[in-house]
Structure 1
Amino acid sequence: MHTAVVDLGYGDAGKGAVVARLCQERTVTAVVRFNGGPQAAHNVVTADGRHHTFAQFGAGTLHGTPTHLSRFMCVDPLALAAEADHLRALGVPAPYALLTVDRDARLVTPYHAAANRLRERARGADRHGSCGMGVGETAAYALAHPDDAPTAGDCASRPRLLRKLRLLRDRLTDDLGPLAAPPVEDCAAAFGAFADAVALTDETHLRRLVRGGPLVFEGAQGVLLDEWHGFHPHTTWSTTTFAHADTLLAEAGAPGPARRIGVVRTYTVRHGPGPHVTEEPELAAALPEPHNGHGRWQGAFRVGHFDAVAHAYAVEVCGGVDALALTHLDAPPRCPALRICHGYAIGGQLVERLPVGAPGDLDRQAALTRRLLGAHPAVWSTPDHWPTAVGALLGAPVVMESHGPARQVLTGATVG
């Protein structure tokens, strides 16, 4: 059986560690990335102390598991090259040999990134919390100009790539002014090298992968940041639920959907602005993060108690999960003050469930955001056994426990 992994929070719950553990037994045919792009930051620490922050390569790469970047990915060849260099330094001799890229994947360029940063800077105090890497700009441009948006496949044709890059640069410059980005010819040369280094594929490749053995679909970011169900406008331009994984499997002729694993921490975190009802600044000092911190564009790394209301909303948005991975179980013994929030006080009312609507209504989601910005925790508990408590609250068994960066325990989440 295939497996799909998503984060049921705002990101940073430990998807990378979960995917790496699933690949550790070497029974996984490939990791398929099905949303996001170079802004992902999936930290994996191996038992021998090697650490890599996976952005575009799948988190099973250190175990030799191939990665396929699907058409739902936003691919940044420049960031990919830097990631490949770091993987080589960690002992992966030929990272690109483990990588295939769908030709229809959107291409993230320095022009997208420069435009992204200009727009975010112009928002001032109303920043959305962008990563500043151009992924949202890439998605927006592709929606506005679907025929002209550059794709990974365009990198194999220098004339076509040059035309699309010049058009992209000129449109964004007309809209925003001069962009802090390299000349088009330099970008085209680097992107051409990317096309020479990786295997560019079409839809038949995923069909072969599906028939070849169990796959792990690795999501990016978190469901609470979903473009349609997250707390707008502090969201991503990406569908962060299982939807794209389900679509890819259906298109590839898989007999059924993947087994769904939702990942949560024993405490809820988010990067940057937006609702975080259970935030308690003192917890950040008690639970330092070696791989997370203040981001120039995202803003502060914010720490709070386990938010059962928000995580249950994420489960409902996804249509349910089959199993849970609970990470950072080493935190409650180090910080006994950690608790679970079961209900909010909003405008004098107790709220224990957030409403879930059909995708597409951003006004509804913005209204929900305004409500959550005025919410306060109202109902608490301190669990005797965190996996049992979290499983009961979110309606699925905890099949994987993580007690530290390199200590993951599987209790039934095998693939195959």
Structure 2
Amino acid sequence: MPGIVIVGAQWGDEGKGKATDLLGGSIDYVVKFNGGNNAGHTVVIGDQKYALHLLPSGILTPGVTPVIGNGVVVDIEVLFHELEALVARGLDVSRLVISANAHVITGYHRTLDKVTERFLGKRQIGTTGRGIGPAYADKINRVGIRMQDLFDENILRQKVEGALEQKNHLLVKVYNRRAIAVDEIVDDLLSYVDRLRPMVGDAALLLNRALDRGENVLFEGGQATMLDVDHGTYPFVTSSSATAGGASTGSGVGPTRLDRIIGIAKAYATRVGAGPFPTELHDESGEWLRSRGFEFGTTTGRPRRTGWYDAPIVRYASRVNGLTDLVLTKLDVLTGLERIPVCVAYDVDGERVDEVPVSQSDFHHAAPIYEEFPGWSEDISGARSFDDLPSAARDYVLAIEQLSGTRISVIGTGPGRDAVIERHPLIG
């Protein structure tokens, strides 16, 4: 089964980087197919911790070809900052391939992101201010800059002039900011051309040929299902397709070539940014989860909102992604709790609702209906088989597996690379 997709089954930060790394020894290519540097993966290898924002997690695995697909928006300054940091730590990054059709985040995208968010006031979405949304907006409006444009200065200048003609009016007349000079943007982008040239190519052709040869290609989603621009909690979402369908559109590989869809879910729930979050905790339990789980954004450092496991959310993610497997992470964080609540349904205006409401208004007003499960006090960080877990931990896993509608194939029992239990193989 050469085509494997990994997606977040909640609001992001579920531990997708660790799942990708777990598969690393069997994978030939790792593809980032959506998003930009607005979300991060933290991967722990031995006593080394790596925080990746734009690069695919597979860049940490020798012999794997990491690919940035056409569905990604690339901040080139961030790209080289990450590459240089990895080289300084002794890693080989020479295999990186970037799709010529990937769009570029420019200085004016970052500026617009920040001033627009401030302008929204109480209606802020909670963006990271890194220019992701404006870059995707330009892509849809057909005024975006693609990686391939950097290798033709005349085309690049024409496209930047066209984009800034409208944006400078907006910056000056609406936001009371200075106009941005065309030369400022063009000169900045051209400064990267020589270093970029060996990396940029036809990524879709590369990946399809790899699949033809029977090689294993892993498609790694940024953000998560509930932040998907179509299927998430709109408008409090990201600007790209973070569900499994985005793996095809963001890479140029057809959906019939995707054999396994793996969802990642924490044993509880977190969210960064604004938007509905039915199980959110505003008490000491929420602080306890945040402290125990080190719940601070890899990219932003922002404290994450914390809450109990929401089974309807993961069941929804299973449905819209077509999940074949779940990887449950951070089960160890729950150690020490006497009782563990799990959201099994919602109360919406006095009526029980078992699935995620299609109405945005109803979901904003949804109150969780909990079922409680016994906790455990034993240290599970050394557990390497399901039977190693305390009976209460096993019961918890089996209960949320049934509620979530997809088998739990892997369980994370600690932050280390080897702190996992494999109930069912993810590949083979």
Give the TM-score category using the shorter length. Answer: 0.7 to 0.9
- Cα distance in 2 between the residues matched to 1:58 and 1:411: 26
- Cα distance in 1 between the residues matched to 2:211 and 2:178: 42
Aligned residues: 395
- Cα distance in 1 between the residues matched to 2:179 and 2:348: 44
Q: Does 1:402 align with 2:412?
A: yes
The one-letter code matched in structure 1 to 2:310 is: D
| Contact 1:8–1:264, Cα closer than 8 Å, also in 2 | yes
Q: Which runs of 5+ in 1 are unaligned?
A: 357-367
Correspondence for 1:307? 310
- Cα distance in 2 between the residues matched to 1:56 and 1:44: 14
Q: Which SS does the other structure have where 1:339 is aligned? A: strand
| Contact 1:20–1:44, Cα closer than 8 Å, also in 2 | yes
Shift of 1:244: 2.4
Q: How does 1:91-240 map to 2 (within 5 A)?
A: 91-93=90-92, 95=93, 97-144=94-141, 146=142, 148-177=143-172, 178=177, 183-201=184-202, 203-212=204-213, 213-240=215-242
Shift of 1:264: 0.3
Superposed CA offset, 1:346-383 (max 9, x none) = 11111111256xxxxxxxxxxx3322222212232316
Shift of 1:304: 0.2
The one-letter code matched in structure 1 to 2:241 is: T
Shift of 1:390: 2.1
Q: Which runs of 5+ in 2 are unaligned?
A: 375-391
| Contact 2:331–2:412, Cα closer than 8 Å, also in 1 | yes
- Cα distance in 1 between the residues matched to 2:146 and 2:194: 15
Shift of 1:219: 0.4
- Cα distance in 2 between the residues matched to 1:286 and 1:180: 47
Aligned equivalent of 1:52, options 50, 60, 63: 50
Q: How does 1:379-398 map to 2 (within 5 A)?
A: 379-382=370-373, 384=392, 385=394, 386-398=396-408
- Cα distance in 2 between the residues matched to 1:45 and 1:151: 33
Which structure: larger Rg?
2
Q: Does 1:415 align with 2:427?
A: yes
Correspondence for 1:286? 288
Correspondence for 1:362? none
- Cα distance in 2 between the residues matched to 1:179 and 1:190: 23
The one-letter code matched in structure 2 to 1:377 is: P
What TM-score results when the alignment is normalised by the length of structure 2? 0.86
Distance 1:156 1:90, change over 3 A: same
- Cα distance in 1 between the residues matched to 2:17 and 2:8: 10
Correspondence for 2:60? 62
- Cα distance in 2 between the residues matched to 1:278 and 1:400: 24
Shift of 1:295: 8.2
